[in-house]
Amino acid sequence: MHVEIFIPEISKLTTKTKIEEGVLISTIQFEARVPVGNLARILNLQRQGAPLMASIASPQAPMDLQFKDLRPKDVQTEVPG
């Protein structure tokens, strides 16, 4: 199961990077208006030790970033002709 908690707008994004045991570790910080219930869900998942992932999206991204179109495995793509 995949659940997403949507944060419609972020601002004041900053990053810090350090090297730890030969690996780059980045801290990403930003401000956002997050409903208390959503924040509570995120913190609860963290307390339970559940794996967490983050995705940053932007309508500008297709013009600035290299990306790959992901499709569900059950969708078959056929080329006409």
Q: What is the pLDDT of residues 57-73, one digit of tens each?
A: 887 766 766 666 777 76
Residue owning tokens 């983050």: 54
Contact 7, 34 (CB under 8 A): yes
Burial 15-36 (b: 16+ CB within 10 A, else e): eeeeeeeeeeeeeeeeeeeeee
Better-scored residue on pLDDT, 79 or 32 = 32
**Alpha-carbon distance 24 to 30, whole Å?**
20
Is 30 a member of any domain? yes
pLDDT band at 17 (very low <50, low <70, confident <90, very high): very high
**Alpha-carbon distance 15 to 28, whole Å?**
5
| Domain coverage including residue 27 | 10-64
Is 42 a member of any domain? yes
Is 77 a member of any domain? no
Is 5 a member of any domain? no
**Total number of domains constituting the chain:** 1
The neighbouring-strand residues paired with 19 are 24
pLDDT value, residue 24 = 95
